[in-house]
Amino acid sequence: MILITTAGKVGSQTARLLAKQGETVRVLIRDPEKASALARVGVEVAEGDLEVPATIDGAMQGVSSVLLVSPAIPAQELNVVDSTVRAGVEHVVKITSKASADSPIARRRGQTEIENGLIASGLGYTLLRNNVYMQNFLMLAPAIAKTSSFGASTGDGRVGMIDTRDVAAIAAKITASPAPHSGKTYWLTGPERLSYPDAAAILSNVLGRPITFHPLTFEEQKQAMINVGVPEAIAEMNAQALSLVAEGDSDWITDDVPSLLGRPARGFEQFATDNATAFS
């Protein structure tokens, strides 16, 4: 049994892949109704809360490996680590990012605290350190569909964007057979470094109409996210991350995806093509 700690983008995609491969997989979620689509494809749904250790312990029964993917709140993820130790589970795959203890972004500092706790636990572990998700562009899709334009505080900074479907494919592979990956960190990216103006050009080609990019200030970026329903604290961290893109923070790519999957990583053009209806 493989336990996935949330059913967000990466968690739900990983669960579907594992179920399709015939693996037994369980997701932990506060509202089981939100995972009804996963239940229909054979994923076991366990009701629980990462703030309540007893519910995590209940979901941990019979589990051999864990995919730790959540909003990177240290107390919550360290509750999972502690429960994993109590249950005698052998391996945790941690979804993380470019973390550091002195980062200006609270989420990245939290990731470092979680990673340190996981490593200190003595559990087998693998860190999947991801660059910016292509799927973040889906938050911009309504504006692109309505105005054929979008803004961001990234300037001309380039990003080695990664498709969450590739992250999920790697997470599924490692959670199903973790031993060869114990103690390793993988830096997951797409095949190219693109600026947001580059992304606008690709969207223009795919959609068959001009899509324009306009730069935003940090405050404008933060407010734009709040306007679409992102909580203020998360909007501030997201705006910080996008503003760091302008300084080259995400201008890196690796060969880890093709090395692990035996195929090229998905590029932004494929992502845009696969999601063209959302942008239209």
The CATH number covering residue 35 comes to: 3.40.50.720
Q: Do 125 and 142 sit in the same domain of this protein? A: no
Asked if residue 199 has pLDDT above 90, the reply is yes
- Give the domain extent around 63: 2-130
CATH number at 215 reads 3.90.25.10
* Residues contacting residue 242 through CB under 8 Å, at least 6 positions apart: 152, 153, 154, 221
Please tell me whether the overall predicted TM-score, pTM, comes out greater than 0.75 for this model.
Answer: yes
Q: For residues 111 and 107, what is the distance between their CA atoms, to the nearest angstrom?
A: 6
The answer to whether residues 126 and 146 belong to one domain is no
Calpha distance 237→233 (Å, rounded):
7
Q: Report the percent of the chain where pLDDT is more than 70.
A: 100
Indicate the number of domains in the chain.
2
Q: pLDDT (tens digit, 9 = 90+) per residue, 11-47? A: 999 999 999 999 999 999 999 888 999 999 999 999 9
Q: What is the mean pLDDT of residues 110-114?
A: 96
Q: Same domain, yes or no, for 141 and 271?
A: yes
What confidence score (pLDDT) does residue 84 get? 97
CB neighbours of 259 closer than 8 A, spacing ≥ 6? none
Same domain, 66 and 20: yes
Whether residue 116 sits in one domain with residue 25: yes
61 and 83 both lie in a single domain: yes
Q: What is the mean pLDDT of residues 226-242?
A: 90
126 forms beta bridges with 93, 184
